[in-house]
Structure 1
Amino acid sequence: MKKNGFTLIEVMITVAIVGILAAVAYPSYTEHVKKSARAEAITALVDAANKQEQFFVDNHDYTAVLANLGLNTTTETGLYTLTIVAVANSREFTITATPASGVPLTDSYCTTLVINELSTKTSTGSGTSKECWGR
């Protein structure tokens, strides 16, 4: 009499293969999610810097208030908080994106992203600014 089914060895081999695939795929997936979150922050920072320059053209000074630029204090999905530092009549500003929730809170590679009036793009964390900004 022939029985259909799997032996314990076959099941264990299948479980081992799935485990190996998961061990390889999960870190790659989490890194992709972190890069996507960084892309959101970069987009928000570049947009804010452009609006800051337009504000300067209209008012001959930079603003330290995001609302003056028509922006919220968080990125679109709320993953990052945006802050502006601008000193009156100094002709300088910095805009910083700091992790606020979700995956960016676990990203020690690119902790914060910063852009200034010269379009100098920097970051904090263990990664280089070039890597964090995708250049």
Structure 2
Amino acid sequence: MRMSSKHDRVRGFTLVELMIVVAVVAILAAIAYPSYTRYVLRSYRAQAKADLAEYAGLAERFHTANNTYLGFALPNNASPREATSPRYTLVLSGQGASTFTLTATPTPVQAADSCGALSINQANVKTASGDTVANCW
């Protein structure tokens, strides 16, 4: 049987080693978090664009059946539809016999997105109030 001695070495990590690991994790988090938030903003923008395209298609079907856009109403005014906290508010404007404009305006939660409000009209002309159309659509 071995007797323990005061000189037996205890295994483990030193404070310096732990602080180095904490610093590395902090640097990785500082790099990854902004990238993640940009990805989240982009994904909600993609959902808003899909909703605008879907509702523009519904407006075209309504126009085909009624020969006017007057009377067409949005089935939902929030994007994404299932969210408890919508990222965009959808509005139908400029509605006439042969014209309409659908606009997705970001809510305060989505305000950091550089594209701003996204719009599409009956001629499938797409606009963005912030960044260029090429970057946003």
Give yes or no for TM over 0.5: yes
What per-residue deviation string (whole Å, max 9, x for no partner) do you get for residues 68-117 of structure 1?
xxx1111212321111113433x221100012353x1332x011110011
Which of 55, 70, 73 is the aligned partner of 1:48? 55
Within the alignment, does 1:8 sit opposite 2:15 as a pair?
Answer: yes
SS, match of residue 30 in structure 1: helix
Q: Distance in 1 between matches of 2:88 and 2:37?
A: 17
SS, match of residue 128 in structure 2: strand
Select the structure that is richer in helix: 1
| Residue matched to 1:82 | 90
Q: Percent identity?
A: 41
Q: Distance in 2 between matches of 1:37 and 1:23?
A: 22
8 Å CA contact retained: 1:74, 1:80: yes
Which of 15, 21, 26 is the aligned partner of 1:19? 26
Q: RMSD value over aligned CA atoms? A: 1.6
8 Å CA contact retained: 2:59, 2:69: yes
Within the alignment, does 1:131 sit opposite 2:120 as a pair?
Answer: no
Runs of 4+ in 1 over 2 A off after TM superposition: 63-67, 86-89
- Letter of the 2:107 counterpart: A
Which of 109, 113, 117 is the aligned partner of 2:118? 113
Within the alignment, does 1:96 sit opposite 2:100 as a pair?
Answer: no
**What is the aligned length?**
126
Q: Which has the larger radius of gyration?
A: 2
